Structure 1
Amino acid sequence: MKKDLVIIALLVLIMLFKLVDIVADVQLEIPAWHIAQESVLVLLTVIATLYLSRDLMRRSRQVKALAHRLAQADKQIDNLSTQMRAARQEYSQAVASQFDTWGFTKSEQQVAFLILKGLSFKEIAEVRQTKEKTVRQQASTIYGKAEVDGRHTFCAWFMEDFIQDHNQELANNEAA
C-alpha cells in the first residue's frame, strides 16, 4: 500500500508541475499544439491518479474486511478449542469412571489410558519404566476385568457409543 501511495503522490506532483509548465507556456505564447499535448498529459495523469486512488481505497476496505473476518475466525477457533478441551476433559472423566467401575488399580488405569492412546506395549513399558512383560500381564488383567478379548475390542468399547450415534444420524438423514 505504501508503494501505491508513493506512486499516487508522484503522479500528483507530475500533474502539478505540468500545470505550472502549461501556465508558463501560455504566458510565453508557446504554440497551441504544444499546450494541447501537455494538457492531454495532465488529463491522463489525473485519470491515472483517480484510478489508482480508487483502487487503493477499494483494496484498503478489502484488507480491513479480511482482517475483521480473520479476527472473527480466531475467536471461533478459540471457542472451539475451549469446547474441545472441555469435551476432552469430560471424556477422560467418563473413561476414568468406567475404569473405576471395572475395578482397575491405579497402575492398570495408567496402562489402560496408554493403550487407548495407541501406544505399543514396548512404548508403555518405556514410559512407565517397567518391563514389557509386566505391561502385557497388566493388559491381560485389564482385558479380563473389562470382559473384552484384546486391545482392539477394548479401544472399540469406548468408541461404540460415538459410532452408534453417528450411524443413527446417517440412518435418520437417509430416511429423510
Structure 2
Amino acid sequence: MKDKVIALILIIIMLLNFFDVLTDISLGVPFWHIFSESFIVIVSGLGALLLIRDINTRTLNTVKLTQDLAFSDDKLRNVSAEMKNARDEYRRVIQQQFEQWKLTPSEQEVAMLLLKGLSLKEVSAVRNTKEKTVRQQASVIYSKANIEGRHELAAWFLGDFIG
C-alpha cells in the first residue's frame, strides 16, 4: 500500500511539473529553468514507472506462490487414505505441541508455514504481513520452543521419525 501511495505522489509531481513546464514555455521563461523542471518530470515519471513495475512483479510473485501452495495442497489431497490419516495425526501432534508452547494462532500459522519450508519473505507474502512482523513472530516461536531457529524447529518434529 505504501508503495502505491509513493507511486501516486510521484505521478502527481510529474503531472504538476509537466503543466508548469508548458506554462513556463508559453511565458518565455529561461531555458535552464525549463530544463530543470523537465528533468524533474522525467525523473519522477521514471521513478513512478519503476515502482509500479516492482509492485506488479511482487504481486505476480505472491499470486504464483499462493497458487503453488494451493497446488501443493491439492496434491496432498490425492494421497492415499492411510497417508491422509497419518498426516492428520501428525498435524494434530504438531498442533498439540504448538499449544504446549503456548503459541498464539498467528504464531502457529507462521510456525506451520516455516515447517512447510517457506522463507520468512514467502511467509510474509502468503500472510500479507510485513517481513519484519514475521521475523518477530518467528523469534517469539523459537523462544517459546526453547530452540535456536527454523532448522531446530524442523528437527524437533522430524527427529522422532528419523530415529
What is the TM-score with the length of structure 1 in the denominator? 0.48
How far is 1:119 from its partner?
0.3
**Greater relative CO (CA pairs within 8 A, separation 6+):** 2
Matches within 5 A, 1:59-138: 81-138=80-137
How far is 1:100 from its partner?
0.1
Within 2, Cα distance between the matches of 1:118 and 1:83? 24
Structure 2 counterpart SS, 1:149: coil
1:153 partner amino acid:
E
Structure 1 counterpart SS, 2:80: helix
How far is 1:163 from its partner?
1.0
Within 2, Cα distance between the matches of 1:151 and 1:95? 15
Within 2, Cα distance between the matches of 1:139 and 1:92? 19
Post-superposition CA distance 1:108-163 (Å, at most 9, x none): 00000000000000010011000000000000000000000011011100001111
Which 4+ stretches in 1 moved above 3 angstroms? none
1:114 partner amino acid:
L
Aligned residues: 85
Counterpart in the other structure of 2:46? none
1:141 partner amino acid:
V
2:159 partner amino acid:
E
Question: What are the ranges of 5 or more consecutive residues in structure 2 without an aligned counterpart?
Answer: 1-78
Within 1, Cα distance between the matches of 2:119 and 2:149? 13
Within 1, Cα distance between the matches of 2:150 and 2:108? 14
2:111 partner amino acid:
A
Within 1, Cα distance between the matches of 2:162 and 2:134? 29
Within 2, Cα distance between the matches of 1:143 and 1:108? 10
**What RMSD in Å do the two structures reach over aligned CA positions?**
0.9
Within 2, Cα distance between the matches of 1:88 and 1:106? 20
How far is 1:83 from its partner?
0.1
Question: What are the ranges of 5 or more consecutive residues in structure 1 without an aligned counterpart?
Answer: 1-79, 165-176
Within 1, Cα distance between the matches of 2:128 and 2:84? 29
Post-superposition CA distance 1:95-117 (Å, at most 9, x none): 00000000000000000000000
How far is 1:84 from its partner?
0.3
Counterpart in the other structure of 2:150? 151
Larger Rg: 1
Identity of aligned residues (%): 58
